[in-house]
Amino acid sequence: MLKITKKKIAAKSNLDNYEKAYKNYSLEEAKKEISYFPGGKLNIAYNSITRNALNENTKNKTALIWESEAGEIKEFTFSQMENLSNKVANVLKKHKVKKGDRVFIILPRIPETYYSFIGIMKTGAIAGTMFAAFQEDGIFERLKKSEAKFVITNTELAERIKKNRQKLKELKYIFLTDIGISGGEDKLSLPEEMESASASFQTVPMEPDDAATMMFTSSTSYTPISGVVMPHQAVISQHLTAKYVLDFKEDDIYWCTADPGWITGTVYSIIANWSNAVTTVIYEGRFDAGKWMKIMEKYKVSVWYTAPTAIRMLIASGVDGRKYNLDNLRHMCSVGEVLQPDSIRWIKENLKVDVCDTYWQTETGSMIVANFPGEKKKIGSIGRPVPGVIVKIIDDQGKEVPVKTEGNIAIKPDVPSLMKTVWKNKKMYDSYFKHGWYVTGDRGYMDEDGYIWFLGRKDDIIKTSGERVGPAEVESALIEHPAVIDAGVIGKPDKLRGEIIKAFVVLDQKFNPSDKLIEELQQYVKKHLAGHAYPREVEFINKIPKNKSGKIVRRILKAKDLGLPEGDISTLEDD
């Protein structure tokens, strides 16, 4: 066995002392970390890239080290990212992008994804991303809901827009990253357009509250998916949380494994890492335990941000982290789902670092609770509120509950990164705010030292492999299949994936239950909605339990799944 002694012991954490930092936090001080335009205006893109490209110390520093699945490597300095994003901004401007227009990127983890995201924000338009795993219906719903004006994608993924293209009235152009010549009608070649575009662009100064990004996420009330809109001032919280929790130092090499289709992959793999001028590694390929270890070794990754499912997959793969030289790895964080104690132990033994859990949501726009490097951790706790965020556990009437009492995890809504709207859905947006609190929808408790312990969701949102999936969207996809007359979907606990999607299906009388039909339904959801959102388990039943207003009562399905009595559904009250 190879014995590794850490050459690079973590220097003193950026968060000098938690108690002091929390007590002394002031928004005015925090704002000093950020560059503003006259009149208090700002732009995330300027903070992430431009200011580093203008700075003598960082302009030639590597911003992005990219490795493709096939092993091709490309590097970009902050200046190069500035020029490329300026070109994208000029292309959009040429095609009459306006402040507030929605521009969506549907691409894998390739350099175009990263500089396009910055370029869009520079113009004042709203940058949105989507997992490349989304299929026709998943893409259509999101483009339709957001009334997107432009899409940046590639030829293969653009095929998935074709079927519904005529129904997307607001969509003007589809920019393709992989063709050198324009594809006719509404398709333009991004490289060709960029070729003739200027590399200078005046970033549009935005009001702090103006929309910067839109991420679709799953919800269960009012609407299956919501376009969560994050303001430009979010960069204040994002920059600070990255500095304190990811604990960035000048010469760090940072790798965040999150896909930019998920908010972690935009906030902490584009915005906050670069606003801290940190060299960032992006690996295009899928999960592969050995490859991941090699990436860490090869690029001397010093800060790593990943998710519990990825850690569980590393453990399950049998990979031995001690066989790789990970001397440079000094800090690691996790996000998105419960981080189990055995994962923490495995990381400690194999990668020789402590893993810090972090907790937040698409809607909060940045970490709100975290374990801080250098501070005492309590295994099983998600940590303490980040400086500047007041987190409390409240009851349904908005009253704080005593320590060690279960309640709703809630924050005071004065956090700069908190969403500003749910796109065209005020009812949904308003539903998060109760009695002066922003209520996360998660349950937990706080102990006497202010550490928070996560207990689970209050609603039916499913977390599968760290990805948030709304049951309603999967149910709708299933019901589209001719054999299905009704469906109810739940998250079923799973050792590897946290939860898997399980569907209860009521068949049309003309169809008979069979393994072949299960397979067909799974393929159907994969093909129409998304590769990651299909039910790994399907069970045929006679009736889906509903309350008096016709809403599916998924807790009964959950009870059924655990083999508990279903109960009398006729007595169910409206939720």
Residue 361 in the binding site for ligand PRX (CB under 6 A): yes
- Candidate residues 210, 247, 252, 337; the one interacting with ligand PRX per rule CB under 6 A: 337
Strand 498-507 to strand 225-231: parallel, antiparallel, or no bridges (unpaired)? unpaired
* Cβ nearer to ligand PRX, comparing 58 with 257: 257
Which of 87, 239, 468, 481 binds ligand PRX (CB under 6 A)? It is 468
Q: Which is nearer to ligand PRX, 53 or 386 (CB)?
A: 386
380 class by beta-carbon count within 10 Å (0-12 exposed, 13-18 middle, 19+ buried) = middle
Determine, following the binding rule CB under 6 A, whether residue 359 of this chain makes contact with ligand PRX: yes
Does position 457 bind ligand PRX by CB under 6 A? yes
Note whether 389 binds ligand PRX by CB under 6 A: no
The contact mask relative to ligand PRX for 7-46 (x = CB under 6 A, - = no) is: ----------------------------------------
**Distances 503 to 139, 280, 492, 508, 509 between C-alpha atoms, Å:** 22, 39, 10, 16, 18
Secondary structure (3-state) at 70: coil
Q: Is 263 in the site for ligand PRX (CB under 6 A)?
A: yes
Q: How many CB atoms lie within 10 A of CB 394?
A: 18
Query: Which among 222, 207, 243 has a CA at the least distance from the CA of 420?
Result: 207
Shortest reach from residue 310's CB to ligand PRX, in Å: 13
Q: Which x/- pattern over 184-223 shows residues binding ligand PRX (rule: CB under 6 A)?
A: ---------------------------------x------
**Under rule CB under 6 A, residue 113 binds ligand PRX:** no
Phi, psi of 24 (to 5 degrees): -90, 0
Q: Using the Cα atoms of residue 435, residue 368, residue 285 and residue 174 in order, give the sign of their dihedral.
A: positive
Tokens of 470: 């709304």
Tokens of 91: 């292309």
Q: How many residues bind ligand PRX (CB under 6 A)?
A: 20
Q: Does 393 bind ligand PRX (CB under 6 A)?
A: no
Closest approach, Cβ 13 to ligand PRX, in A, equals 19
Number of H helices, E strands in the chain: 19, 27
Cα–Cα distance measured from residue 360 to residue 337, given in angstroms and rounded to the nearest whole number: 10
Choices 73-81, 322-330, 355-363, 513-521 (CB under 6 A): range interacting with ligand PRX: 355-363
CB of 463 to ligand PRX, least distance (A): 6
- Work out whether strand 384-385 and strand 537-540 pair parallel, antiparallel, or are unpaired: unpaired
Residue from 336, 365, 491, 545 in contact with ligand PRX (CB under 6 A): 336
**Burial class, 426, CB count within 10 angstroms (exposed 0-12 / middle 13-18 / buried 19+):** exposed
Q: Which residues bind ligand PRX (CB under 6 A)?
A: 217, 263-264, 335-338, 357-362, 382, 440, 442, 454, 457, 463, 468
